[in-house]
């Protein structure tokens, strides 16, 4: 049907693509902790030793946990299994709210306390007009 050269080229491509996919898979697998943008509180708790490096922790801002005093903001990041207290002083993004996603960048003091240098708000995949949100809230 097809010439020998065509078959050879198909074989070459299949070998090439599978080897690259495998290589990329292995690289990404071994770099997993660098590919993830943030750790969840549960992942932080399961760390074997306290890291001195700058890390990011992400999760939900726990309800009624935001405590603003003068320039300091304290709040709790939760993944509904574990929680971490975050201390921060500085500006927070507009979307920083209770029950919304957040990513804090900074250093671990211990496994329960995190000193943040930067706060990022994480937006979720839900898009809706305010009226719909109110209706959902009433339910």
Partner 1 sequence: MKFFNQNKILNLSFKSQKIILIFFLLILSIGLFEALVLSPEDYLQGDAVRIMYVHVPAAWMSLGIFSFIAFLSILVFIFKNKNFILIAKSIAPSGFIFNIIALVTGSIWGKPTWGTWWAWDARITSMLILALFYLMYLMAWRIFENKNYVLKVTSLIAIFGSINVPIVKFSVDWWSTLHQPASVNLISETTIHSSMLIPLCIMTAAFVLFSLLIFLMKYNTELIKIKNKGLDRL
- Shortest separation between residue 129's beta carbon and partner 1, angstroms: 3
DSSP string, 47-85: -SS---S-EEEEEEEPTT--EEETTEEEEEEE-SS-EEE
- Shortest separation between residue 127's beta carbon and partner 1, angstroms: 4
The CA distance from 90 to 71, in Å, is 7
Residue 16: C-alpha distances to residues 6, 41, 62, 129 (Å): 15, 40, 48, 48
- Residue 22 within binding range of partner 1, rule CB under 8 A: no
- Residue 138 within binding range of partner 1, rule CB under 8 A: no
Q: How many binding residues for partner 1 (CB under 8 A)?
A: 43
- Residue 47 within binding range of partner 1, rule CB under 8 A: no
- Residue 68 within binding range of partner 1, rule CB under 8 A: no
- Residue 92 within binding range of partner 1, rule CB under 8 A: yes
- Residue 88 within binding range of partner 1, rule CB under 8 A: no
| Neighbour-count burial of 77, counting CB atoms closer than 10 A to its CB (0-12 exposed, 13-18 middle, 19+ buried) | buried
Q: Which residues are at the interface with partner 1 (CB under 8 A)? A: 6, 9-10, 13, 16-17, 20-21, 24, 28, 32, 35-40, 58, 91-97, 100, 103, 118-133
């Amino acid at each position: 049907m097809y010439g020998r050269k065509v078959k050879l080229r198909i074989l070459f491509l299949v070998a090439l693509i599978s080897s690259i996919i495998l290589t990329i898979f292995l690289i990404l697998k071994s770099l997993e902790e660098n590919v993830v943008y943030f750790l969840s509180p549960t992942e932080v708790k399961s760390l074997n030793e306290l890291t001195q490096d700058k890390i990011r922790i992400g999760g939900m801002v726990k309800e009624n946990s935001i405590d603003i005093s003068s320039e300091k903001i304290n709040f709790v990041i939760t993944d509904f299994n574990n929680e971490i207290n975050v201390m921060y002083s500085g500006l927070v993004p507009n979307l920083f709210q209770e029950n919304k996603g957040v990513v804090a960048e900074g250093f671990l003091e211990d496994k329960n306390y995190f000193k943040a240098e930067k706060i990022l708000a994480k937006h979720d995949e839900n898009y809706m007009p305010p009226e719909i949100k109110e209706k959902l809230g009433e339910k």
